[in-house]
Structure 1
Amino acid sequence: MFPLILLYLVLTIIRPQEYMAAFVGIPILPVVLIAAFLCWLASNAKTFAAPQFVILPIFLLVLMISVVVNGWFGGALDQFEKFGPIAIAFFVFAAACNTQQRVKIAMAVFVLCSVVLAIHGIQQARTGMGWTGVPISEDGRIQYIGIFNDPNDLGLLFATALPMSVYLSTLRGLMLRLFWLACAALLFYGTYLTNSRGALLAVLVVAGVYVWYRRGFITAGTLGVVGLACMKLLSSRMEDLDPDEESASGRVNAWYEGLHMFLSHPVFGVGAGNFTEYNDLTAHNSFVLVLAETGFVGYMLWLAFVGYSFWMMLTVLRHKPDDIDDPARAKAWQSEQRMALTLLLSLCGLFSAAFFLSRSYTVVMYLLAAMVVGYYVSARQRFPGLRLFKLASNGWLWFSASAGSIAGFFVLVAVLLRVST
């Protein structure tokens, strides 16, 4: 199961089946996923000891219902075909990441695949064309193939993989440390070449959260201001980071339209995939997209799915085991915390970028969440004192968090619209 789901990860990111003649037309990705799923069904490693295993199938059902209640009965099957494989990949990958060593291997594969895309981008920047046959974009931003054809998606991937590469550089001998640090440098350079404001801000957020954890809020805030100034010098598009700028104004207007879609369809939204039926631009915000398309029901489920992932990693960072006085256990716990911090930073990078992109249903997000869930479930086996999360115990919390965040979006959009006029 583990080798198969790693192969699925490689095929999902590098995607040779889309540009290598030997693979074109062969459904290699679904075949590998089905094989991994069959192994998962037969495996004793499968687990359901986390709320996300309950939330995700219900969210898939809500996606299907959202299009049905808006008059498209065939859309239920369409949503099942689109999101069903992502849900399956989550279940299999989470079950496969059932030891620290496997999580490290998954991180290494994730980083190496991302580095391949970064090298492809460097080739594009130098020659104008990558080995996939995809040229550099008209505005000089690197791009890849398939789901990473948008430079912003590339930047999101790089920002997610960057903390993993730095973490891996702390584990081995000198040569491997230099190798993983070189990978981190390539990922950062690749982020720069995407010229994605969301991705650059995500890298800044990752660095800020790390400094905050290690040195405190004041130091993080000070370095954050300096980092933002440096990024404005690095990226021409960062200089236009203003509500009055055309692209930023279009995003705010899209958020505004998305909130009004929610008001007109508050329970199940306007239907998954239907945002652009009501507005020329997509939502440019993963949270607003889910809210508009699936209503309060879908948004609460999705927010809970995301929120539990952050909560789990924060729980590891804040927990103090009872047997911490034992040197061996103390060393083991430090190892757990370093891994949890890395996964938390990757979550911060991904969702910082996703805040400015409509990527609520993309597979990368759910593969990272699977690593987080798989790691936490296995960490509870090693340290049983870690909290056991149960959806039934926290339903009220996610209802309140959903209502509060929706109100926050209305306030934010009102302020941004007032500033831009």
Structure 2
Amino acid sequence: MNRRRQAQVTPEQVERSTRIYYYWLLLALFLEYARPASYFAFLRVPFLYSAIPLSLFVATCFAPGMRSMREILADPLTKWIPIFVALIAFSFAHADVSLYVYNIFKLVLGYAIMFIMIARIVTSEARFRGVIATLLLAHLFLLAMNPAVVMNPNERNYIIGATFLGDGNDFSMSLCILIPFAISMALGATTRWGRWFAWAGVGIGLLAIIASQSRGAALGLGAVLIYLWLISPRKMAVLAGVAVVGLVVLVYAPPVYFQRLGTIANYETEGSAMGRITAWKAGLRMAADHPITGVGAGHYAISFGTKYRPPEAQGMPWLTAHSSYFLVLGELGLPGIITFLVLTWGNIRANGKMRRFVRKRAGPDVDPAKLAFANRVLVLSSGAVLGFATAGAFLSAAYYPHVFVFTGLLLSLRNMVATSLNVSVAEALGRNPAVRKPRRGIAVPPATDDPKGGGQVATPSLGRRPQA
């Protein structure tokens, strides 16, 4: 009797039964990005930021109804997360200062746990949008607590109270990731308020990027816009959006913004740009001396000051990498940079393979609305990764949560798209073709007659909007 009842559980019922974990995840993400305890004293509870995600991780280990580890591991990008963490842990064996390694390892281990929770809990389109909305809300909260960032674009302001988003460059790079996700949320919103919130977030985020005067973020945003124009079949619509962005820049940006952008082409005359080049050359020398291990996680700055500082930089006691790529190359060696490139550009490649698979499966037996959703969100989420990959080339952001969060989101998205086509992620991405098995306790949607006369088809799950 119990087995019969369990077999009759629908996906919508499973979504409702796991809502507590979903809201728990949103709380953990908001606290990690917004750090509200910096502004409200009553939230300064010891271990608050660690206790909430860790307790959620323990709870999800025993909770039924979420995406299984077997489904998560079917995506080829999954294995690279533990490889990245393991390479950092390996630094304990050879690095000079174990404390520096420990600080980085503790961070990335927590973010890896966040990746697992996102991959397990985000099982529907509604939850995918909910995570994006939470991240957008966290960034808007920080801007509300630091209004000078947007209200005074003539000066570069810091985000007081934030951690990895405290610097204007880091905050604007995060917005380069978030804006494409927010556009996908706006285009797929089911309510007017949701649509307005998403578009308002896109607009305010654009102003914050301009006000930060970050050249890396400007290049990141430009790369996203060019990519969306090149890949979109509606090029005039995208071109109109680009024109709106250009108009906002012309109206809102102060003269100093254009002066800073001008130094991109004439970098030889700008001290900050030359400092980056000096740091990047040091990273190459670190990798040349330690190609397999690197100098150790957290050791870039100290290694620069003690061994790899060039004669022309004698006045610099230390210097960070100013690039995610050179940071990983110098600290983790060739295995590290390969892993990092797979986690960034590999996500874009996997999304492209999924889009091609979706086009192959398009036909009268597949809902066109669901195909349109899959194509739109896969393209925009790839744009989000491109924003990080471009802006991150000028910022030491390899150990920030971004890689882990967007990899978890994109893994969930690819899994949802594959589910909607009744195949496994492995088959969709060209690995070990097999018919997808449903999660335990969820009834397989029955085949229904195609109203267009195309025979019987399985009812796809993507596009359903269960209550979350």
Q: Quick one: distance in 2 between partners of 1:82 and 1:176?
A: 32
What is the aligned counterpart of 1:243 among 267, 285, 292? 267
Q: Quick one: distance in 2 between partners of 1:9 and 1:122?
A: 22
Q: Which residue of 1 aligns with 2:324?
A: 286
Q: Does 1:30 align with 2:50?
A: yes
Q: Which residue of 2 aligns with 1:263?
A: 288
Quickly say closer, same or farther: Cα 1:382–1:139, change in 2 above 3 A. same
Question: Counterparts in 2 of 1:391-402, with a 5 A limit?
Answer: none
Q: Which residue of 2 aligns with 1:43?
A: 63
CA contact (8 A) 2:119 2:408 kept: yes
Quickly say closer, same or farther: Cα 1:298–1:323, change in 2 above 3 A. closer
Q: Quick one: distance in 2 between partners of 1:291 and 1:24?
A: 37
Q: Quick one: distance in 2 between partners of 1:74 and 1:254?
A: 23
CA contact (8 A) 2:101 2:296 kept: no
Q: Quick one: distance in 2 between partners of 1:204 and 1:266?
A: 33
Q: Which residue of 2 aligns with 1:56?
A: 81
Structure 2 counterpart of 1:169, which letter? A
Q: Does 1:97 align with 2:122?
A: yes
CA contact (8 A) 1:86 1:366 kept: yes
Q: Quick one: distance in 2 between partners of 1:322 and 1:351?
A: 29
Q: Which residue of 2 aligns with 1:133?
A: none
Structure 2 counterpart of 1:316, which letter? M
SS of 1:267's equivalent?
A: coil
Q: Which residue of 2 aligns with 1:211?
A: 229
Q: Does 1:305 align with 2:343?
A: yes
CA contact (8 A) 2:150 2:208 kept: no
Structure 2 counterpart of 1:240, which letter? T
Unaligned segments of structure 1, at least 5 residues: 129-135, 391-421
Q: Quick one: distance in 2 between partners of 1:185 and 1:125?
A: 11
CA contact (8 A) 2:345 2:389 kept: no
Moved more, 50-59 or 101-110: 50-59
What is the aligned counterpart of 2:165 among 138, 148, 155? 148
Q: Which has the higher contact order (CA 8 A, sep 6+)?
A: 2
Q: Quick one: distance in 2 between partners of 1:298 and 1:323?
A: 36
Q: Quick one: distance in 1 between partners of 2:281 and 2:199?
A: 42
Kindly state the Cα deviation for residue 302 of structure 1 after the two structures are TM-superposed: 2.2
What is the aligned counterpart of 1:197 among 212, 215, 230? 215
What is the aligned counterpart of 1:65 among 65, 90, 93? 90
Query: TM-score, normalised on structure 2?
Result: 0.74
Question: Counterparts in 2 of 1:3-402, with a 5 A limit?
Answer: 3-44=23-64, 45=66, 46-47=68-69, 48-72=73-97, 77-124=102-149, 126=151, 139-144=155-160, 145-171=162-188, 172-214=190-232, 234-241=257-264, 242-244=266-268, 245-279=270-304, 280-321=318-359, 323-326=361-364, 328-383=366-421, 384=423, 386-389=428-431
Q: Quick one: distance in 1 between partners of 2:111 and 2:187?
A: 31
Q: Quick one: distance in 2 between partners of 1:11 and 1:170?
A: 27
CA contact (8 A) 1:169 1:176 kept: yes
Kindly state the Cα deviation for residue 264 of structure 1 after the two structures are TM-superposed: 0.7
CA contact (8 A) 1:143 1:149 kept: yes
Q: Quick one: distance in 1 between partners of 2:339 and 2:405?
A: 17
Query: TM-score, normalised on structure 1?
Result: 0.81
Q: Quick one: distance in 1 between partners of 2:146 and 2:354?
A: 36
Structure 2 counterpart of 1:377, which letter? N
Quickly say closer, same or farther: Cα 1:75–1:243, change in 2 above 3 A. closer
CA contact (8 A) 1:316 1:336 kept: no
Unaligned segments of structure 2, at least 5 residues: 1-20, 305-317, 433-468
Quickly say closer, same or farther: Cα 1:374–1:87, change in 2 above 3 A. same
Quickly say closer, same or farther: Cα 1:7–1:274, change in 2 above 3 A. same
Quickly say closer, same or farther: Cα 1:77–1:166, change in 2 above 3 A. closer
Q: Quick one: distance in 1 between partners of 2:431 and 2:395?
A: 29
More helix by share: 1
Structure 1 counterpart of 2:84, which letter? F
CA contact (8 A) 2:213 2:260 kept: yes
CA contact (8 A) 2:143 2:149 kept: no
Kindly state the Cα deviation for residue 309 of structure 1 after the two structures are TM-superposed: 1.3
Quickly say closer, same or farther: Cα 1:12–1:156, change in 2 above 3 A. same
Kindly state the Cα deviation for residue 163 of structure 1 after the two structures are TM-superposed: 1.4
Kindly state the Cα deviation for residue 328 of structure 1 after the two structures are TM-superposed: 4.5
Q: Which residue of 1 aligns with 2:312?
A: none
Moved more, 139-148 or 304-313: 139-148
Post-superposition Cα deviations, 1:138-167, rounded to whole Å, max 9, x if no partner, equal 953342422211111110121111112222
Bigger Cα Rg: 2
Q: How many residues align?
A: 378
Q: Quick one: distance in 2 between partners of 1:305 and 1:179?
A: 30
Q: Percent identity?
A: 21
Q: Quick one: distance in 1 between partners of 2:86 and 2:55?
A: 24
Quickly say closer, same or farther: Cα 1:160–1:265, change in 2 above 3 A. same
CA contact (8 A) 1:93 1:370 kept: yes
Kindly state the Cα deviation for residue 327 of structure 1 after the two structures are TM-superposed: 6.2
